[in-house]
Structure 1
Amino acid sequence: MVRSASPLPRLTIPVLLGATLVVAGLGVGPTPAQADEIEDSLVAALDAYRAGDTSVAKEELDFAAQLLSQMKAEGLSSFLPAAQPGWTREDGETQALGTGLMGSGLSANATYRRDGDTVDIQFLADNPMVTAMAGMFTNPSAMGAMGTVKRIGRQKVVVSQDGELQALVNNRIMVQISGSAPVEDKEAYFEAIDIRGLQDF
């Protein structure tokens, strides 16, 4: 006896949205404009799935997941501190990274200027390179080889010979502060970062 193919399981927009949120690792809601674009992709994925076109369905779901990841990257940028008095802030590009040279994950950065001095702050989250470096930040000898180890607030920070600050928050978010400004200015900017908020991000 020949069995007929099992019908495709019934998928709905809430089910697709829930699955896509899990894939993107997102815990915040989209803005109305973003929701429209995300919902359009989910509807297209559902239509393609029901038509048996799993390739297009996956493509649309991947696009929705990318939009959701970009939303989370924008959330990461909200932890960049405001400019200190007398400084200006220029926001860099906020990205949900793909699988290129830098690997996957999220990034956000900003440049702060005062006269001829600059401070560059970059966050890199959920990235394989950051994961690989986590062991160094839990090894006192390795941290000592990277530079001078100190605490700013309750966070351990490495200050390199070039005056660059590096810290690993919650073993998954790298904070890097560089630029031409004196190290005291960089430390002041580090103090202005909401580290507790980053830990919960």
Structure 2
Amino acid sequence: MIRRSFVILAFLAASLSQAAAQGDDIRRSLGEAQRAYQSGDLGATRIALEEALQLLAQRRAAGLARSLPGPLPGWAATDVPDSMQADLTDGTSASRSYRNAGGQSVQVSLTIDNPMTAQFAMILTNPGMAGSMGRLIRIGDRRALQIADDVIQMPVDNRILVTITGDGPNEAKLAYARAIDIAQLITRN
């Protein structure tokens, strides 16, 4: 298991060698893992590999945050994402809140690599099952599920889940769902 992870991350290290300076921490952790492995210290190898994976997940969370839409006309957004989470078991996520002059809010969350996302996408391939959970809707050419007027969930590429919530009007939630640049979201993450 350690050897397989090491081979994968050694390949990743080679791929990251041309990355920007912000990847230095990842390269440093991978280098530590390689040195520890070569010296036979499997415990230190594991810790350094896990650190590299966590740093990579954090970098992906920042990429997700850059994929959040800007505020729509009449709405203001938080300057930075409300939250970014990099969890190796639950996936990586980022969210941002938007508020209108009337005090209503909409929150857009993006989650990648959560095991439940692919299962949710499969539910949407069965309109009968999806219909029992909410209302099947289309956001562009994508299927989404709207639960009452409170939540919109849309899987993207079977690995990214867009969730839109809040007390804002349904039209605003739909507009924020349409404002997400899906092609950019897929290629950037």
TM-score for the superposition, normalised by structure 1? 0.79
> Are the structure 2 counterparts of residues 157 and 35 from structure 1 closer, same or farther at C-alpha, using a change threshold of 3 Å?
closer
Correspondent of 1:127 among 114, 118, 126: 114
| Cα distance, 1:157 vs structure 2 | 2.1
1:44·1:60 contact (CA, 8 Å) conserved in 2? Answer: yes
Name stretches of at least 5 consecutive residues in structure 2 with no aligned partner: none
Distance in 1, Cα, partners of 2:163 & 2:123: 15
Correspondent of 1:65 among 47, 50, 53: 53
Name stretches of at least 5 consecutive residues in structure 1 with no aligned partner: 1-8
Distance in 1, Cα, partners of 2:186 & 2:26: 28
| Cα distance, 1:141 vs structure 2 | 0.5
1:21·1:68 contact (CA, 8 Å) conserved in 2? Answer: no
> Are the structure 2 counterparts of residues 15 and 174 from structure 1 closer, same or farther at C-alpha, using a change threshold of 3 Å?
closer
Q: Which residue number corresponds to residue 97 of structure 1?
A: 87
Q: Which amino acid aligns with 1:111?
A: S
Distance in 1, Cα, partners of 2:125 & 2:8: 40
Aligned residues: 180
Q: Note if 1:36 corresponds to 2:29.
A: no
Correspondent of 2:65 among 40, 56, 77: 77
**What is the aligned-residue RMSD (CA, Å)?**
2.6
| Cα distance, 1:58 vs structure 2 | 1.8
Among all aligned residue pairs of Structure 1 and Structure 2, give the percentage whose two residues are the same amino acid.
Answer: 38
TM-score for the superposition, normalised by structure 2? 0.83
The structure whose Rg is larger is: 1
1:30·1:71 contact (CA, 8 Å) conserved in 2? Answer: no
Larger helix share, 1 or 2 = 2
